[in-house]
Amino acid sequence: MNGYLKPVELGKASRLIHHGPTVLVSAHHQGVDDVMAVGWACALDFAPPKVTVVLDKVARTRELVEGSAIFVVQVPTVAQLQLVDAVGTSTLFNDPDKLLKSDVHLFHQDGFGHLPFVTGCSAWLACKLIPEPHNQENYDLFIGEIVGAWADTRVFREGHWHFQDADPAWRSLHYIAGGHYYATGDSFFAATVES
Amino acid sequence: MNGYLKPVELGKASRLIHHGPTVLVSAHHQGVDDVMAVGWACALDFAPPKVTVVLDKVARTRELVEGSAIFVVQVPTVAQLQLVDAVGTSTLFNDPDKLLKSDVHLFHQDGFGHLPFVTGCSAWLACKLIPEPHNQENYDLFIGEIVGAWADTRVFREGHWHFQDADPAWRSLHYIAGGHYYATGDSFFAATVES
């Protein structure tokens, strides 16, 4: 945790993932931490704010989410490209040193117990699982209610992303396939249209 | 329709939205076409390929999807910024001339009847609704199976996006809030990590 990390009001929390970044999902259960890369994550509602994440059955993180019913969705940066790819291509089931080898460092937030947050990201959403067994079993689709949100003020402040003013290393990653990612790019504003 | 528009194999169709772009959702039912901007759209599976889209009850397009059980998810471009913002901020319920005023032009694909596709996008996914009334009513969440996929070869070909080689006007849009969008940005490849 660092002095740049500030809470984001829950009414604006979904903006942290509106741009469709690849995220890291982390969870803790019975003494085990895990972190995975998730390309399929999306906002679902504003009030209360909710998210969807697709968690494959091959991921240990999924077991931890099912066991603890709480998880973190966090937005990694271009500076974390190798970390993201590493946690997206290895599994704790096969490699107990996955997080160490992937250079993942974790921190905790007051009031959230052992819930693991990944150091160096630009934004974090603490999400309480809304159990939907049909979706989880049939589609690997998990729904979470956002119960806490924080961002690094060097790139998100006063309810807005500031990628255009920040070091490019702060930009988000958007995964395509096979180790190929795009970063978040230029900023555009639509002109107000009078109808 | 133009000569650059080519089919994409269904096994790679979800790559068309992996980068988390804002999409346009279009549908037709009983003589009515509508198109809406959707910030909350996401891939859900590879085989068969599926997507999720969040369709608010205020959108006429949602009624058309419910009525016809088929819809198009298409990826608009920076060149279409004003069109995207226009169809995202007006509704056919209040303005029968919405599509005309938004400068939306539609085309059709062989084998898909009246299903409306928006001209000028970079990619198109024809999606058959998988009815999930609980998700639709409680979360405005709709699941579709991708049954047809096409892309403009000037920016997506041989299973890969080529934003880095194309005119920047072809980049996708990533909506944040209040008329503010980011374009898809620079391309990065993660180094292969030996564990």
pLDDT of A99 over the 60 cut:
yes
- C-alpha–C-alpha distance, residues B166 and B76, integer Å: 15
**CA distances in angstroms from A132 to A137, A139, B138, B144, listed in the order given:** 9, 11, 11, 18
- C-alpha–C-alpha distance, residues B191 and A116, integer Å: 26
pLDDT tens digits for A136-166? 999 999 999 999 999 999 999 999 999 999 9
pLDDT tens digits for B102-131? 999 999 999 999 999 999 999 999 999 999
pLDDT band at A2 (very low <50, low <70, confident <90, very high): confident
Encoded tokens for B139: 């979360």
Record: contact A189-B180, CB cut-off 8 A: yes
Residue A37 touches partner B, C-beta closer than 8 Å: no
- C-alpha–C-alpha distance, residues B164 and A130, integer Å: 39
What rounded mean pLDDT belongs to chain A? 96
What rounded mean pLDDT belongs to chain B? 96
pLDDT of A114 over the 90 cut:
yes
Segment B76-103 shows an average pLDDT of 95
- Of chain A, the percentage scoring pLDDT greater than 90 comes to 97
Residue B157 touches partner A, C-beta closer than 8 Å: no
- C-alpha–C-alpha distance, residues A100 and A172, integer Å: 23
In this structure, of A89-93, A132-136, A139-143, the range with the lowest mean pLDDT score is A89-93
- C-alpha–C-alpha distance, residues A147 and A127, integer Å: 6
Domains with residue ranges and CATH for chain B: 5-183 (2.30.110.10)
Locate tokens 């909506």: which residue? Answer: B175
- Cβ-based neighbour number of residue A125 at 10 Å: 29
Supply the pLDDT for residue A192: 72
pLDDT of B194 over the 90 cut:
no
Length of chain A: 195
Residue of A nearest to B45 (CA): A139
pLDDT of B52 over the 80 cut:
yes
pLDDT band at B150 (very low <50, low <70, confident <90, very high): very high
pLDDT of B134 over the 90 cut:
yes
pLDDT tens digits for A28-59? 999 999 999 999 999 999 999 999 999 999 99
Segment B173-191 shows an average pLDDT of 97
Residues A51, A23: contact at Cβ < 8 Å? Answer: no
Segment B151-157 shows an average pLDDT of 98
- Closest CB to B191 among A82, A182, A189: A82
Residue of B nearest to A192 (CA): B179
Residue B174 touches partner A, C-beta closer than 8 Å: yes
Supply the pLDDT for residue B30: 98
Strands B141-152 and B5-7: antiparallel
Residue B47 touches partner A, C-beta closer than 8 Å: no
pLDDT of A103 over the 90 cut:
yes
pLDDT of A189 over the 50 cut:
yes
Query: Which residues, 6 or more positions from B82, have their beta carbon under 8 angstroms from its beta carbon?
Result: A190, A191, A193, B103
Residue B128 touches partner A, C-beta closer than 8 Å: no
Encoded tokens for A168: 């490019």
Which residues of chain A does B101 touch, with a Cβ-Cβ cutoff of 8 Å? 195
Residue B90 touches partner A, C-beta closer than 8 Å: yes
Supply the pLDDT for residue B1: 57
Query: Which residues, 6 or more positions from B13, have their beta carbon under 8 angstroms from its beta carbon?
Result: B49, B125, B146, B149
Alpha-carbon torsion, ordered A53, A28, A69, A46, to 10 deg = -50
